[in-house]
Chains A and B, each alone.
Chain A
């Protein structure tokens, strides 16, 4: 009974840990990523209209469905704009974005919220989980925003917020036209010597530590086997490292086979003699019946 309880407890614990991990792949992975308050001469929506917008970003490696979650600009009303459920477009792919238009006309579609930004004062935007209570992310956009300059995270999903003169709706905030790592290698290690030395050092260190550990393990193992043998009253060989005769015989046989690794090509003879087979498993019932499970 105790064992069953223990097992059940362990199972529950594992389930809890596992579901906690799953949660991490859900709406809690969403972040408010970029906001444009004054859209004077910028991105237009499907109706050809310009308005402020909020970009959400899925930081996780799994698809997140934000249907049923809430967007709001009111601290006292977390459920101000419920994102409609059942829209395939609310399934946000890993590391992808969703853009919501702050035009105050929710009837225009899933991605049009029922509030607008006030260009004259600071604006608050928050994203709530499906329960309308769990705050996932919030941001206060300072007052005095300029036209067509967005406020967003310097790198998607990370903490630092900056202004973007080059707005990036529905795409990465930071786009790279060069690979900094590679450029550094090209400039500072054009011969590849630094890479060779550092990488070989890491390989050697890794395998050297493994060597040291297993040298000690071997010593312990030999000592333990000697003690066991003594207890059992067996003779301990002077060199504990000897391989038994059977193993050596097996190795020799394998080597012999390796050296004699030449296939005989047997002559094949075509015959028309009928092979008599009175019994065929195809007609046997035992092969079509399932065996009773053994305990």
Chain B
């Protein structure tokens, strides 16, 4: 009797052991857990995009807890599991447009409206996307995969997730992690190239103060912006539609509560869900591949190309502008979206050379134009390659 009880308990214990994380762990799981911990460390210690890196970092930990595939419906990729249900917002692409709604409701386009020529900088910086696309093709990626990788250069996490979920879902985890990592590393990546491509004289150019923009102009902007961009690139509708809708909620002045919800609780909720599920999607077996390493390299390249394209475009543009109307090329980097970090970089680098030259407001122009530009670029890629 006792013997059978002990053997029964022993068998059960053995079975239980096969279910533990320790039993199912592989070196890949530990590598990914280390990556997650690095993300959390960077977010807390250096405050690199903490709102994103903490959910993503913790998501990586969640996604890399090893377990036995026994149909317990616990893993992100198991249909019907809680994580899987939350992940549907990513796979079916409805988290990013909701984030764009919030971004629209919190973005002030005044800087852009007061000096509309800054929009062109936002367009020029999108060269990073297509530069990376060209290189990705040469590295052997399929055109749809190259398009999804290239969008990292747009420096816009939701856009990157939206496009990659449509064009190359198999690469989405690596693309999202890469995009958010480099967005967090904007303060490290951009300044050397900004200094390299500008002269001391150019760095101290003072720009005219932006004029006060009327509320009518602010209301007209999202309406005209939507009609124009979406008539041109209808495939950008999910992102641009929500971006401009959010902005109209903000600027109309009569939907304050809706705007506050969109830029507050709604975007926070979606950011949490998006971050945690994207992080959890990076399971070692899916993520630790040569393609991921290539994507990280391409992501860095796309950021560099975008920064250089923005700065160089301003220098080129200045040739045609009269003295007094010239643009400080240090705001060229801000065309890569990454709102508002890249605009802050313009300000910080600018102040190194002239402590009374405030570029932040000017840099916000190309910065928000970059958001529009990257969404348009995503629409084009989706239209061509989807």
Q: Which residues of A pack against B, CB within 8 Å? A: 179, 181-182, 185-186, 189-193, 195-196, 198-200, 202-211, 213-215, 217-218, 221-222, 224-225, 240-244, 247-248, 251-252, 255, 258
Whether A251 contacts B358 by the Cβ 8 Å rule is yes
Whether A208 contacts B133 by the Cβ 8 Å rule is no
Q: How distant is the Cα of A199 from the Cα of B142 in the complex, in angstroms?
A: 18
Provide 10 A-B residue pairs closer than 8 Å at the C-beta atoms, listed in order of the A residue: A179-B144, A185-B384, A186-B142, A196-B127, A206-B229, A207-B122, A207-B372, A213-B224, A217-B220, A241-B208
If A185-B143, A207-B123, A251-B361 touch, whether A244 touches B212 (CB-CB below 8 Å) is yes
Count B interface residues, CB 8 Å: 53
Residues on A with beta carbons closer than 8 Å to the beta carbon of B232: 202, 205-206
Q: How distant is the Cα of A202 from the Cα of B234 in the complex, in angstroms?
A: 12
- Closest chain-B Cβ to A76's Cβ sits at a distance in Å of 45
Question: Is the contact region of chain A dominated by helix, strand, or loop, or is it mixed?
Answer: helix
Residues on B with beta carbons closer than 8 Å to the beta carbon of A191: 134, 137-138
Q: Which residues of B pack against A, CB within 8 Å? A: 113-114, 116-117, 119-120, 122-124, 126-127, 129-131, 133-134, 137-138, 142-144, 146, 208-214, 216-217, 220-221, 224-225, 228-229, 232-233, 344, 347, 358, 360-361, 369, 372-373, 376-377, 380-381, 384-385
Taking a contact as CB atoms closer than 8 A, the residue among A181, A192, A208, A258 that contacts B137 in the complex is: A192
Q: How distant is the Cα of A192 from the Cα of B130 in the complex, in angstroms?
A: 8
Taking a contact as CB atoms closer than 8 A, the residue among B120, B143, B360 that contacts A207 in the complex is: B120
If A182-B144, A206-B228 touch, whether A200 touches B212 (CB-CB below 8 Å) is no
Q: How distant is the Cα of A199 from the Cα of B146 in the complex, in angstroms?
A: 14
Residues on B with beta carbons closer than 8 Å to the beta carbon of A204: 120, 123-124
Whether A243 contacts B210 by the Cβ 8 Å rule is yes
Which 10 pairs, one residue from A and one from B, show the smallest C-beta to C-beta distance? A241-B211, A196-B130, A214-B116, A192-B134, A207-B123, A185-B143, A207-B119, A211-B116, A199-B380, A192-B137
Nearest-neighbor residue (CB-CB) of A202 within chain B:
B380
Whether A209 contacts B376 by the Cβ 8 Å rule is no
Taking a contact as CB atoms closer than 8 A, the residue among B114, B347, B360, B377 that contacts A218 in the complex is: B114
Whether A186 contacts B143 by the Cβ 8 Å rule is yes
Nearest-neighbor residue (CB-CB) of A215 within chain B:
B116
Whether A214 contacts B113 by the Cβ 8 Å rule is yes
Residues on B with beta carbons closer than 8 Å to the beta carbon of A215: 116-117
Whether B133 contacts A192 by the Cβ 8 Å rule is yes
Q: How distant is the Cα of A293 from the Cα of B369 in the complex, in angstroms?
A: 44
Residues on A with beta carbons closer than 8 Å to the beta carbon of B133: 192, 195-196
Whether B209 contacts A243 by the Cβ 8 Å rule is yes
Nearest-neighbor residue (CB-CB) of A241 within chain B:
B211
Residues on B with beta carbons closer than 8 Å to the beta carbon of A206: 123, 228-229, 232-233, 376
Residues on B with beta carbons closer than 8 Å to the beta carbon of A258: 344, 347, 360
Q: How distant is the Cα of A189 from the Cα of B130 in the complex, in angstroms?
A: 13
Q: How distant is the Cα of A252 from the Cα of B358 in the complex, in angstroms?
A: 9
Whether B134 contacts A225 by the Cβ 8 Å rule is no
Residues on B with beta carbons closer than 8 Å to the beta carbon of A213: 224, 228
Residues on A with beta carbons closer than 8 Å to the beta carbon of B134: 191-193, 196
Residues on A with beta carbons closer than 8 Å to the beta carbon of B122: 207
- Closest chain-B Cβ to A78's Cβ sits at a distance in Å of 39
Nearest-neighbor residue (CB-CB) of A196 within chain B:
B130
- Closest chain-B Cβ to A144's Cβ sits at a distance in Å of 42
Residues on B with beta carbons closer than 8 Å to the beta carbon of A243: 209-212
Residues on A with beta carbons closer than 8 Å to the beta carbon of B344: 258
- Closest chain-B Cβ to A247's Cβ sits at a distance in Å of 7
Q: How distant is the Cα of A243 from the Cα of B361 in the complex, in angstroms?
A: 12
Nearest-neighbor residue (CB-CB) of B386 within chain A:
A181
Nearest-neighbor residue (CB-CB) of B47 within chain A:
A261
Residues on A with beta carbons closer than 8 Å to the beta carbon of B233: 202, 206
Whether B126 contacts A200 by the Cβ 8 Å rule is yes
Whether A195 contacts B228 by the Cβ 8 Å rule is no
Residues on B with beta carbons closer than 8 Å to the beta carbon of A222: 211
Q: How distant is the Cα of A182 from the Cα of B143 in the complex, in angstroms?
A: 6
With A206-B228, A210-B372 given, name 19 new contacts (CB 8 A).
A181-B385, A182-B385, A186-B142, A189-B143, A191-B138, A192-B133, A196-B127, A200-B127, A203-B373, A203-B380, A206-B233, A210-B116, A213-B228, A214-B119, A215-B117, A217-B220, A241-B114, A241-B208, A251-B360
- Closest chain-B Cβ to A138's Cβ sits at a distance in Å of 33
Residues on B with beta carbons closer than 8 Å to the beta carbon of A244: 212
- Closest chain-B Cβ to A92's Cβ sits at a distance in Å of 20
Whether B137 contacts A190 by the Cβ 8 Å rule is yes
Residues on B with beta carbons closer than 8 Å to the beta carbon of A202: 232-233, 376, 380
Q: How distant is the Cα of A217 from the Cα of B224 in the complex, in angstroms?
A: 11
Nearest-neighbor residue (CB-CB) of B129 within chain A:
A199
Q: How distant is the Cα of A209 from the Cα of B231 in the complex, in angstroms?
A: 12
Chain B CB within 10 A, most for which of A202, A222, A225, A247:
A202
Whether B214 contacts A255 by the Cβ 8 Å rule is no
Whether A210 contacts B225 by the Cβ 8 Å rule is yes
- Closest chain-B Cβ to A191's Cβ sits at a distance in Å of 6
Residues on A with beta carbons closer than 8 Å to the beta carbon of B212: 241-244, 247
Q: How distant is the Cα of A242 from the Cα of B120 in the complex, in angstroms?
A: 23
Residues on A with beta carbons closer than 8 Å to the beta carbon of B358: 251-252, 255
